[in-house]
Amino acid sequence: MITVLLVDDHPVVRDGLRGMLQADPELAVVGEAGSGDEAVVSARAHRPDVVLMDLRMPGLDGAGATGRILAELPSTKVVVLTTYDTDADILRAVEAGACGYLLKDATRAELTAAVRAAARGETVLAPAVAGRLVRQVRNPPAPAPALSARELEVLRLVATGRTNADIGRALHISEATVKTHLLRTFTKLDVSDRTAAVTTAMSLGLL
């Protein structure tokens, strides 16, 4: 019997997954969690063979929960099950230690086969995801642009919601200088606004 923990912040999704898996007599759903933090606690309590992990959840996300679970339970296998197939999401999950990455449009047969394969220690990737990983290996991303220490200081304060005037006061520089630093940052990150600058910098690991 392969024991499974379901992690998703939407109860209706967990119900659907439970129904799909329990139709297979070799699979047993031993627990559910609606957040990354709950997943860590539930995994510790049930010690499942396989965790089906949603990626984007409030609080601790799927990648963070995966890392914590595997640090405590290295024999447990984590398969990410999500609607997202962007390169950044895939790489974060794989780097956290997930052995599989499936999209939520997977059929029941694909899902149950993936759980069995993961329990055997095999890697499970949706075809679209596998293709993206291959492209990442063949064409690694360009190195992140270098922001100056001051540009990073300004951007960190932007990320907290501060206005240019607030940032100027905090760093003891003029508002015009803050704008200059931001414009240079926009150019380096190839973005056109503050929100895009922050999200791009975060995706590149600069913040």
Edge to edge, the sheet with strand 2-7 lists 27-33, 2-7, 50-53, 77-82, 100-103, 124-125
| Alpha carbon distance 47, 41 (integer Å) | 10
Question: Do residues 59 and 88 touch, judged by C-beta distance below 8 A?
Answer: no
| Alpha carbon distance 184, 97 (integer Å) | 36
Q: Is residue 9 part of a domain?
A: yes
For the segment 94-122, what is each residue's pLDDT rounded down to a tens digit?
A: 788 899 888 888 889 999 999 999 999 99
pLDDT confidence band for 143 (50 / 70 / 90):
low
Cβ neighbour number for residue 102 with a 10 Å cutoff: 21
Per the structure, the count of domains in the chain is: 2
Is residue 74 pLDDT above 90, yes or no? yes
Is residue 135 pLDDT above 70, yes or no? no
* Residue 95: per-residue pLDDT: 81
Is there a single domain that holds both residue 133 and residue 173? no
Residue 77 in tokens: 């296998």
Q: Is residue 60 part of a domain?
A: yes
* Residue 140: per-residue pLDDT: 58
Is there a single domain that holds both residue 193 and residue 124? no
Is residue 136 pLDDT above 80, yes or no? no
Q: Is residue 59 part of a domain?
A: yes
Question: Do residues 39 and 65 touch, judged by C-beta distance below 8 A?
Answer: yes
Contacts of 80 (CB under 8 A, 6+ apart): 53, 54, 55, 62, 66, 93, 98, 100, 101, 102
Please give the residue range of the domain that contains residue 58.
Answer: 2-138
Residue 115 in tokens: 């759980």
* Residue 38: per-residue pLDDT: 96
Q: What's the 3-state SS for the chain?
A: CEEEEEECCCHHHHHHHHHHHHCCCCEEEEEEECCHHHHHHHHHHHCCCEEEECCCCCCCCHHHHHHHHHHHCCCCEEEEEECCCCHHHHHHHHHHCCCEEEECCCCHHHHHHHHHHHHCCCCEECHHHHHHHHHHHHCCCCCCCCCCHHHHHHHHHHHCCCCHHHHHHHHCCCHHHHHHHHHHHHHHHCCCCHHHHHHHHHHCCCC
Is there a single domain that holds both residue 191 and residue 100? no
pLDDT confidence band for 145 (50 / 70 / 90):
confident
* Residue 137: per-residue pLDDT: 54
* Residue 176: per-residue pLDDT: 94
Is there a single domain that holds both residue 86 and residue 107? yes
Is there a single domain that holds both residue 86 and residue 188? no
For the segment 149-183, what is each residue's pLDDT rounded down to a tens digit?
A: 999 999 999 998 899 999 999 999 999 999 999 99
Model's pTM, two decimal places? Answer: 0.63
Q: Which range is least confidently modeled, 10-14, 78-82, 130-134?
A: 130-134
| Alpha carbon distance 92, 21 (integer Å) | 26
For the segment 42-64, what is each residue's pLDDT rounded down to a tens digit?
A: 999 999 999 999 988 888 889 89
CATH number for the domain spanning 168: value is 1.10.10.10
* Residue 181: per-residue pLDDT: 94
